[in-house]
Amino acid sequence: MRFASLGSGSKGNATLVEAGATRVLIDCGFSCAEAEKRLARLSLAPGDLDAILVTHEHSDHIAGVARLSRRHQLPVWMTAGTEAAHKGGELASYQCINSHRAFRIGDLEIQPFPVPHDAREPCQFVFSDGRRRLGLLTDVGSITPHMISALDNLDALILECNHDPDMLADGPYPPSLKQRVGGPFGHLSNQQAADIVKNISRTRLQHLVAAHISEKNNQPELALGCLAAAVGQSSFGILAADQPAGMPWISIN
C-alpha cells in the first residue's frame, strides 16, 4: 500500500491511496484542470482512479469533485449529509457512506469514522489492504475517544497540524474566523495533533505526515517540532505535506 498528496492546506486538499490494483482519490479541493496537472506530476491520469471519496463539503475538499467525476466517469463516495450539502452539480454516480460502516473498493478496505467539524456530516478514514493500516485525519476541532480508537495500531498516519495557537491569535484572521478555527468544530492545533499521536499505539507506525498546515497561522517546522517533541525518540519518519507540492508517494512496508 502507498499514499501521496496532490496538495494540502486551506487552498485545496487531495490525497491518493493505492493498494494492489486499486487507486482512490480522497477529496479534490482543486479545479479539475489543476487536479489533472497535479496527478500528472505523479505520472497519473484521472482514468487511473477507481473512485473519489469526500470527507466533507468545504470547498478546499470538494471544489473539483463533481467536474472531475463527470468528466472521467468516477463514482463519488460520501455521507448523505455531505451529498446534500455539496453544490458542484451532478456526479457520474453517487455511493452513500454510512460513517460507522466499513466498505470496500477493489483491494482497499475503508473504515470511515465521524468527526467534530463544522460541516453537515463530516467523516475521516482508515484504509487497509488487509495487512497495513493508513489513517487520515484532518478538519477536526476536538479529540474524541471514538477517533482515538479508530486510529489505533496504524502503520501510517496523515494528521492535521493546522495552526500554532499563538500565531493564530496574533495572525491576520478576523476575530470570528480565529474563534472558528480554534474552536471545538474547527481545526487541530499542533498541540492537539501531538496529543493524538501520544494517545494512539505507535508500535507499528512507520510514517507520520503533518497535513493541512495553515500558511498564515503555522510553520511546518513548528508542526514537525511539536510532533517530534510529543513522541521523543521514534523509529518512524515525520514529514510535512504542503500546499504547492503536496507529497510524493510514500510506501508502507
Task: Tell me whether residue 21 is exposed, middle or buried, using C-beta atoms within 10 angstroms of its C-beta: 0 to 12, 13 to 18, 19 or more.
Answer: exposed
Give the integer Cα–Cα distance in Å for 171 and 28.
Answer: 27
Site for Zn ion in 37-76 (CB under 5 A): 58, 60
Rule CB under 5 A: choose which of 27, 139, 160, 164 binds Zn ion: 139
Least distance from Zn ion to the Cβ atom of residue 58, Å: 4
86 binds Zn ion (CB under 5 A): no
Which of 67/212 has CB closer to Zn ion? 212
Residue corresponding to grid cell 467523516: 123
Output the smallest distance, CB 218 to Zn ion, in A: 13
CA distance 142 to 65: 27
Closest-CA residue to 1 (of 109, 139, 161): 109
Q: Which residue of the chain is nearest Zn ion when measured via CB?
A: 58
Cα separation, 220 vs 25, in Å, equals 24
The count of chain residues that interact with Zn ion, using the rule CB under 5 A, is 3
* Cβ at position 92, least distance to Zn ion in Å: 24
Least distance between Zn ion and beta carbon 36 (Å): 21
Q: Binding residues for Zn ion, per CB under 5 A?
A: 58, 60, 139
